[in-house]
Amino acid sequence: MSGSLNSSANTHSKSKGPNRLVFMESSVSKQAGDIDLSMPVQYLKGVGPARAEVFAKLGVNTVGDLLEYYPRDWVFAPQASKINRLRTGETATVIGLIESTDYQPYRRQPIFEVIASDETGICRIIWFHGGFLRDKLQPGQVIMAWGKVNEYRHQLQLANPKFRIIDAEAIGKKKVPDTFLTSAAEYFSGGVYTGGGGLSSGQIKKIIRPVLDGLERFAGEFYDDEFLKKAELISRKDALRWIHLPPDEDKLAKAQRRLKFDELFLMQLGLALRRHRHDRFAAAIAMKCSEEIDRRIRKRFPFLLTDDQDKTIAEIVADMQKATPMNRLLQGDVGSGKTVVALYAALLAVANRTQVAIMAPTEILANQHFISIERYLRKSDVRRILITGGLTGKKREEILQQIKAGQIDIVVGTVALLEKDIEFKKLGLAVIDEQHKFGVHQRAGLRKEGTPHCLVMTATPIPRTLAMTVFGDLDVSIINSSPPGRGTVVTRLVAPEDRIKAYEFIRERLRAKKQAYFVYPRITGVEEEGDIKAATDGWRELSKVFSEFKVELLHGRMGSEKKQRIMTEFRRGKINVLVATVVVEVGVDVPNATIMVIEGADRFGLAQLHQLRGRIGRGTDKSFCFLFADMDTENETAQSRLEMMERSNDGFEIAEHDLKLRGPGELFSTRQHGLPDLKIANIIEDYDLLVMARRSAFEMVSTDAILNKPEHKNIRHSLITKFGDSLGLADIA
């Protein structure tokens, strides 16, 4: 292959744009030298406008994109051997004409058999369970197969080899053309690319080839020799060549490792820079925390704080004492005592004569927060208020005025309400309880009000991998242990035929004055008619089953007052069974409720099931969670997911498991968080590399915060190409 550029005059005259002139001036012989990474792929040899469109659909616009369009698989076929040269035990490639095929389904292990020949002999090739090959392989085709040679009844054979059909219509040719023997293995070896739109893997391979000749120029090294040696990484240039043209499997593995590292490193570098800008340019009020303040705050809690609560508070206090805004994520399982920690931070801000906004995703949860805050602040002169949707007219105006005048210290409400039109005199701290809904936008929105310290609470344990990536610019505090004196929670997956038995068990507990939740599935992402209907039907049914008890219905479409009234009655024990859509999922704290029944459990994510289960086990009594699922028993994944719930009460373990099952993409999109997509690295499988990349990237930013040292030129360039303006990096270019 000699030419590397698309030198067709035809293409040139049709194409427009600034690249064209440069292109025309290029000499024909030194073509590789004229390609640069930002050049559209259209101008590469073998592409042109039509294929450029196909490439665009594959996400490849520039030569740089193409270089990072890594193969999805690789083929390593040895040089072909003549059939009479095959030796037992060796790995070999055979090229032969298919003489006959035979499928033998009646064997214990069904096999598909091919007899292939070249001019030196015949060879048997078999595939166990190869029924699917019946309409792929036919007599008359020339096949290339490679794999391990073994002996079967004194005859050499290949078992389960990989293969390619290299000539579909050799019938009558009698003899395999010699050219195949010398070039086929090489031809089929190397990368296998995902094609599409009439563009085959082989064509992509051809198109990339000349780009690789320019690697010397394109693949500027990111790191110094010392680092490469210490981290056992090969050069970037070799990695990019070998990922497309691997000489052997060992070199391929090295190339993969290096490119994965680079990808993770660039991501972490982006996060480190984002973090640096934040620390450097955003100003917050530095809070003072004396022993006296600490003592006064602790006096508010009727219990000793757990070690984890103490540790977390120390981290938060250290943050709030700085003049840069705190940006901390507080994670802890449901009931682990986060609210207490948040209230500590709130009281510290109030002691420093600033205001606090506490925001929750729903009104029920905001109300719940307000109730627990009230409990702790009884007889205190901290001025606090709950803002609800029901608050309107003059009363509302009055309250907004007071907040603006700084006459109210703590304002509790939903994110929607507090973000909209409330003006603070001096907002020192924003606490955002996101539960399982992570909203980067919400956090970003809040900053507009000045730069308060910011504490985000979440009850969905964020797997360590995600804490380092999508949340990688936040500091993280974790509460692992729960407050003492909690009853155990037993979880059971109930078979349909045992439903009545479960009802009777629940009846016993209700008679013992315990309370129960029945939760109906979320049918779509948001609560909809279907969910409400399911819960309403369930409520009618359960009112009959438990006719001697008070059974009430709760769902999101009810008026805010009615919802509050039902929750209050449930809290006071006046309602025995609460039938609900997932609105109870967040934040209700009723220690006497010890039964949780989840209908259609297979339709919930594991993290969500865990969240729901967290509503029980809040008192000292043993609690029970029953999962009903209407899936068929054939569905093994659904079954094993639910068994995980029976097995584990550990939110972190469940979240990691969920992440592995569903992949990071579905749970959290990196795009949404302003991070580039990963093409080769996987934050779960490549965890060790991720840790190493994170450490090195933050180290690099600590020594060269704007990456303007000459040795960081290449990496800075790559970073800007990758992140564009999303990190505000353009100003360091």
Q: Which residues bind ligand ADP (CB under 6 A)?
A: 303, 305-306, 309, 332, 334-340, 483, 589
CB of 567 to ligand ADP, least distance (A): 15
CB of 632 to ligand ADP, least distance (A): 36
Question: Which amino acid is located at 516 in the chain?
Answer: A
Instruction: Decide which of Mg ion, ligand ADP, none touches 483; Cβ closer than 5 to 8 Å per partner kind.
Output: ligand ADP
Q: In 3-state terms, what secondary structure has residue 64?
A: helix
Sole window of 335-343, 551-559, 561-569, 648-656 interacting with Mg ion (rule: CB under 5 A): 335-343
d(CA 493, CA 635): 14
71 versus 337: smaller Cβ distance to ligand ADP: 337
Burial class (CB in 10 A: 0-12, 13-18, 19+), 515: buried
Q: Say how many C-beta atoms besides its own lie within 10 A of residue 636's C-beta.
A: 8
101 versus 336: smaller Cβ distance to ligand ADP: 336
Instruction: Decide which of ligand ADP, Mg ion, none touches 460; Cβ closer than 5 to 8 Å per partner kind.
Output: none
Instruction: Decide which of ligand ADP, Mg ion, none touches 294; Cβ closer than 5 to 8 Å per partner kind.
Output: none
Question: Which amino acid is located at 74 in the chain?
Answer: W
CB of 369 to ligand ADP, least distance (A): 9
Residue with tokens 């073509």: 31
268 versus 477: smaller Cβ distance to Mg ion: 477
CB of 551 to Mg ion, least distance (A): 26
Pick out residues in 172-211 that bind Mg ion (CB under 5 A). Answer: none
**Token digits for 378?**
């009884």
Instruction: Decide which of Mg ion, ligand ADP, none touches 303; Cβ closer than 5 to 8 Å per partner kind.
Output: ligand ADP
Cα atoms found within 13 Å of the Cα of residue 568, Cβ hemisphere only: 8
CB of 655 to ligand ADP, least distance (A): 16
68 versus 333: smaller Cβ distance to Mg ion: 333
368 versus 451: smaller Cβ distance to Mg ion: 368
Instruction: Decide which of ligand ADP, Mg ion, none touches 45; Cβ closer than 5 to 8 Å per partner kind.
Output: none
Residues 6+ apart with CB under 8 A from 481: 306, 307, 308, 336
215 versus 479: smaller Cβ distance to ligand ADP: 479
Question: Which amino acid is located at 18 in the chain?
Answer: P
Instruction: Decide which of ligand ADP, Mg ion, none touches 189; Cβ closer than 5 to 8 Å per partner kind.
Output: none
Instruction: Decide which of ligand ADP, Mg ion, none touches 336; Cβ closer than 5 to 8 Å per partner kind.
Output: ligand ADP
382 versus 400: smaller Cβ distance to ligand ADP: 382
Instruction: Decide which of ligand ADP, Mg ion, none touches 337; Cβ closer than 5 to 8 Å per partner kind.
Output: ligand ADP
CB of 380 to ligand ADP, least distance (A): 16
d(CA 531, CA 517): 16
92 versus 456: smaller Cβ distance to ligand ADP: 456
CB of 621 to ligand ADP, least distance (A): 14
DSSP letter assigned to residue 526: S
**Quick check: 460 and 651 in contact, CB under 8 A?**
yes
String of b and e for 317-339 (b: at least 16 CB within 10 Å)? Answer: bebbeeebbbbbbbbbbbbbbbb
Q: Which of 312, 331, 339, 611 binds Mg ion (CB under 5 A)?
A: 339
621 versus 686: smaller Cβ distance to ligand ADP: 621
**Token digits for 522?**
């979320």
d(CA 733, CA 727): 12
CB of 563 to Mg ion, least distance (A): 18
CB of 343 to ligand ADP, least distance (A): 8
Whole-angstrom CA distances from 144 to 85, 88, 234, 336, 682 are 16, 18, 33, 62, 33
Closest listed residue to residue 123, CA positions, set 91, 152, 103: 152
End-to-end CA distance of the chain: 37
**Quick check: 719 and 700 in contact, CB under 8 A?**
no
String of b and e for 34-58 (b: at least 16 CB within 10 Å)? Answer: bbebebbbbbbbbbbeebbebbeeb
State the residues that interact with Mg ion by CB under 5 A: 339
